[in-house]
């Protein structure tokens, strides 16, 4: 039998554990594994041996270059390629790759966003090998390149990227979780890691049509566009049959991802027309983060092969659903215990209840921070804007846990029962008997317990998952540290731990909400409960440097005040620059495409009125005249809005960088953009389609 394609290609481009074992001398491999497990500093000899093995393997696969692959604050990945070539003594080339080159790189840091860190410190930046995420090969027109996942820091050690705080946060949560586990007698656990499975939503549109839309090219979303006659109202796209062209894309995407060791698992059509989703099997947080970056990169690349364009923007089209990323997250020990698995009898599972209490406390205490971690300019179109999920952070626990929690709150710290799943009655005898879960799902919750993990559903689709995950890890680590501090000194552990669970739940119960997160009632109810409702990214940014946050991130060694302050600046800058590009694109399209086309149409209409009149002075030209008047008046409105947008965009440039400028962009420029869009979209529905200068929503969403 022929080998299955998955078996054939899986991991062939990854320098994984098997390859290491194959290529390294036995004793070196052993000490390498030991270093990895203990987290100790890497010995130079081992680094040299690993580098040599890596190089041999890469050369066998045709690699000419290597690169330190890193994740600066731009949110996308960066790389600078070096060939393996080294000065040769005779005329033959010598190919070299040393341990030093593997461990450390020195890209010039001066052109990456650093939010003032560079001004205070140095232009020098270092990339440091993240030896816990395997190196991989990437093949493109440049040839084959060996990519080494790295973290990126300044000369004085400040994090200049998203990976460094993620790695720090993984150590933080491991340290605190292990303290708790010791108290429960789990002395064999040495390390705890966070598992993450991100579901990735995306749109695919025809590339020829994409190339005719400057807004998609420059900003990733449509800045104009009237709704198509059909949207998502029939619910016929969600889980619908996948079109051949899309299926061919998905097949290719899977193969490319499997080659890179990404555990691509599910694929389906999403709610909006032309929208799809892919989810991998979960992996350790840093690997999952690397993989998600690769997923986004490979989606874009593979789409082009099919003459498609992959849109990862959170809101490419107004009026239909946008795209997000669901971040499934859990904590698992190195002995294989999922600490968020309630088991069959959660009410008796004190260890689980304590970790659950830590998550509830962490989320309630740091809701603003979590909200910020999921924000980017694109996600502002979703969060709090009547689309999945609302901007208010709440936790969905489901019927079973809600019931256990009620018992704990009411009773004397000991809950006595757990609701069980039971059997599903379909009313059809030929169908097999299905056991159902103890809890239904809730699609409207931003932070939902889903059986043995939490699903953080607020993330924007284009966002790096590093930020949300280092935030989650850090806040939960902090809650666990409080717990460990308290419990390590008590005499009667059993009763103290139950008391602590009860006390924590009573204090933070307000963040738990099992109802409909999309309803207006919830907004007022949340307000009564005192839960924050932060409507935009700009309003969320200051929480990154509020006292509470600085204290927490410093205590967990994830980010210090200086690093946090730099991130505040970067966030404001990203917001302002994004809206500025959008405004300039609108000015360009309105001035050079829409308005001239509308004028041509109007001229044609006026000519036709004149010629009809000339042919017969009695002819009724009321239809043409009405159209002419309507369009002329909308055109005048558009021209006025365009002038205003130009004016306020110029004004924005003179505002003080940071909060003031970002707020101006949000409140003034963004509003002016909407005022320009409205008349043009209205005109789109009236003007003869032969005159319309760009593909419409109908063309983009339905003609893939
Ligand atoms: P759904 O859309 O129904 O929520 P999916 O199958 O699309 O489910 O995605 C669920 C994601 O959760 C997958 O990436 C899966 O690997 C991940 N996942 C499952 N168990 C865990 C866990 N213990 N920790 C983290 N992620 C998990
Ligand atoms: Mg999901």
Indicate the range of 150-159, 168-177, 199-208, 287-296 predicted with least confidence: 150-159
Say what the pLDDT of residue 660 is: 98
Closest atom of ligand 1 to CA, residue 338: 23
> What CATH number should be reported for the domain whose range is 574-702?
1.20.120.1560
At 545-574, the pLDDT tens digits run 999 999 999 999 999 999 999 999 999 999
Ligand at shortest distance from the CA of 198: 1
Say what the pLDDT of residue 41 is: 82
Helical pair 26-38 and 44-60, crossing angle rounded to 10 deg? 110
At 589-617, the pLDDT tens digits run 999 999 999 999 999 999 999 999 999 99
Query: Going by CA atoms, what residue is nearest to atom 17 of ligand 1?
Result: 197
Q: Is the CB of 197 under 6 A from ligand 1?
A: yes
Q: Is 115 left (phi over 0), alpha (psi -120 to 50) or beta?
A: left
Q: Is the CB of 611 under 6 A from ligand 1?
A: no
Q: Is the CB of 71 under 6 A from ligand 1?
A: no
Domain boundaries, the chain: 5-161, 162-192+342-422+429-559, 200-324, 574-702
Binned at pLDDT 50, 70 and 90, residue 3 comes out as confident
At 48-96, the pLDDT tens digits run 999 999 999 999 999 999 999 999 988 889 988 999 998 777 778 889 9
Q: What's the 195 CA to ligand 1 centre distance in angstroms?
A: 10
Q: How far is CA 121 from the centre of its chain?
A: 30
Q: Is 60 exceeded by the pLDDT of residue 118?
A: no
Q: Is the CB of 5 under 6 A from ligand 1?
A: no
Q: What's the 198 CA to ligand 2 centre distance in angstroms?
A: 9
The long-range contacts involving 255-259, CB below 8 angstroms and separated by at least 24 positions, are 255/5, 255/9, 256/298, 256/301, 256/302, 257/294, 257/295, 257/298, 258/6, 258/9, 258/10, 258/11, 259/9, 259/10, 259/11, 259/12, 259/13, 259/14
At 613-642, the pLDDT tens digits run 999 999 999 999 999 999 999 999 999 999
Greater model confidence, 318 or 121: 318
Dist. CA 532–CA 405, nearest whole Å: 23
Q: Is the CB of 469 under 6 A from ligand 1?
A: no
Query: Ligand 1, from 282, 451, 468, 473: best to mutate by most atoms within 8 Å of Cβ?
Result: 282
Q: Is the CB of 281 under 6 A from ligand 1?
A: yes
For the chain, give the percent of residues with pLDDT over 90: 79
At 185-196, the pLDDT tens digits run 999 999 999 999
Q: How many CB atoms lie within 10 A of CB 591?
A: 14
Ligand at shortest distance from the CA of 325: 2
Inter-CA distances, 466 with 164, 199, 501, 604, Å: 9, 14, 29, 55
Helical pair 163-183 and 350-365, crossing angle rounded to 10 deg? 140
Q: What's the 199 CA to ligand 2 centre distance in angstroms?
A: 7
Q: Is the CB of 441 under 6 A from ligand 1?
A: no
Q: What's the 459 CA to ligand 1 centre distance in angstroms?
A: 15
Closest atom of ligand 1 to CA, residue 340: 23
Q: What CATH class has 200-324?
A: alpha beta
Q: Is the CB of 193 under 6 A from ligand 1?
A: no
Q: Does domain 5-161 have CATH number 3.10.20.70?
A: yes
At 372-424, the pLDDT tens digits run 999 999 999 998 776 767 899 999 999 889 999 999 888 755 667 777 777 76
Q: Is the pTM higher than 0.85?
A: yes
């Amino acid at each position: 039998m022929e080998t299955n394609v998955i078996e054939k290609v899986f991991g062939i481009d990854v320098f994984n554990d098997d390859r290491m074992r194959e290529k390294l001398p036995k004793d070196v491999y052993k000490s390498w594994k030991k270093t990895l497990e203990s987290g100790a500093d890497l010995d130079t000899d081992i680094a040299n041996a690993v580098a040599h093995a890596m190089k041999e393997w890469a050369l066998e696969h045709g690699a000419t270059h290597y690169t330190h692959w890193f994740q600066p604050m731009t949110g996308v990945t960066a790389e600078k390629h070096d060939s393996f070539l080294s000065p040769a003594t005779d005329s033959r080339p010598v190919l070299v790759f040393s341990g030093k080159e593997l461990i450390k790189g020195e890209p010039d840091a001066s052109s990456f966003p650093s939010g003032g860190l560079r001004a205070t410190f140095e232009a020098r930046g270092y990339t440091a090998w993240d030896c816990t995420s395997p190196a991989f090969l990437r093949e493109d027109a440049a040839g084959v390149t060996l990519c080494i996942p790295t973290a990126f820091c300044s000369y004085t050690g400040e994090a200049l990227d998203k990976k460094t705080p993620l790695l720090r946060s993984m150590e933080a949560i491991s340290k605190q979780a292990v303290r708790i586990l010791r108290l429960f007698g789990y002395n064999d656990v040495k390390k705890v890691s966070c598992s993450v499975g991100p579901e990735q939503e995306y749109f695919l549109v025809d590339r020829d049509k994409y190339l005719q839309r400057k807004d998609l090219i420059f900003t990733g979303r449509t800045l104009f566009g009237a709704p198509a006659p059909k949207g998502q109202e029939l619910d016929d796209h969600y889980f619908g049959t996948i079109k051949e062209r899309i299926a061919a894309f998905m097949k290719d995407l899977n193969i490319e991802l499997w080659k890179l060791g990404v555990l691509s698992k599910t694929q389906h059509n999403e709610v909006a027309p032309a929208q799809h989703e892919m989810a991998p099997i979960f992996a350790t947080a840093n690997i999952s983060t690397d993989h998600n970056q690769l997923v986004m990169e490979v989606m874009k690349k593979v789409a082009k092969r099919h003459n498609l364009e992959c849109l990862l923007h959170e809101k490419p089209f107004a009026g239909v659903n946008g795209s997000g990323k669901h971040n499934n997250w859990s904590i698992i020990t190195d002995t294989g215990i999922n600490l968020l698995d309630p088991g069959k009898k959660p009410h008796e599972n004190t260890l689980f209840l304590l970790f659950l209490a830590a998550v509830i406390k962490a989320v309630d205490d740091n809701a603003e921070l979590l909200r910020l971690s999921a924000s980017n300019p694109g996600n502002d179109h979703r969060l709090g804007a009547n689309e999945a999920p609302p901007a208010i952070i709440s936790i969905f626990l489901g019927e079973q846990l809600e019931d256990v929690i009620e018992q704990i709150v009411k009773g004397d710290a000991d809950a006595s029962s757990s609701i069980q799943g039971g059997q599903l009655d379909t009313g059809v005898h030929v169908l097999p008997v299905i056991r159902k879960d103890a809890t239904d799902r809730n699609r409207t919750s931003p932070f939902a317990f889903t059986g043995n993990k939490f699903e953080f559903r607020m993330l924007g689709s284009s966002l790096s998952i590093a930020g949300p995950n280092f935030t989650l890890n850090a806040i939960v680590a902090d809650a666990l540290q409080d717990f460990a501090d308290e419990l390590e000194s008590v005499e009667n552990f059993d009763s103290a731990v139950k008391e602590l669970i009860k006390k924590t739940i009573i204090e933070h119960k307000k963040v738990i909400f099992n109802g409909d997160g999309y309803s207006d009632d919830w907004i007022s109810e949340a307000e009564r409960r005192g839960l924050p409702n932060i409507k935009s990214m700009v309003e969320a940014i200051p929480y990154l440097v509020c006292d509470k946050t600085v204290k927490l991130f410093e205590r967990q060694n994830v980010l210090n005040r200086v690093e946090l302050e730099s991130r505040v600046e970067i966030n404001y800058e990203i917001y302002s620059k994004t809206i500025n590009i959008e405004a300039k694109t609108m000015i360009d399209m309105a001035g050079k495409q829409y308005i001239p086309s509308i004028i041509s149409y109007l001229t044609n209409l006026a000519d036709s009125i004149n010629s009809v009149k000339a042919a017969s002075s009695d002819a009724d030209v009321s239809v043409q005249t009405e159209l002419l008047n309507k369009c002329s008046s909308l055109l005048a409105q558009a021209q006025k809005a365009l002038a205003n947008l130009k004016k306020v965009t110029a004004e924005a440039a003179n505002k003080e960088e940071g909060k003031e400028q970002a707020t101006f962009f949000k409140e003034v420029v963004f509003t002016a953009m909407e005022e320009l869009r409205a008349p043009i979209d209205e005109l789109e529905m009236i003007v003869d389609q032969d005159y319309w200068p760009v593909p419409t929503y109908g063309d983009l969403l339905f003609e893939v």
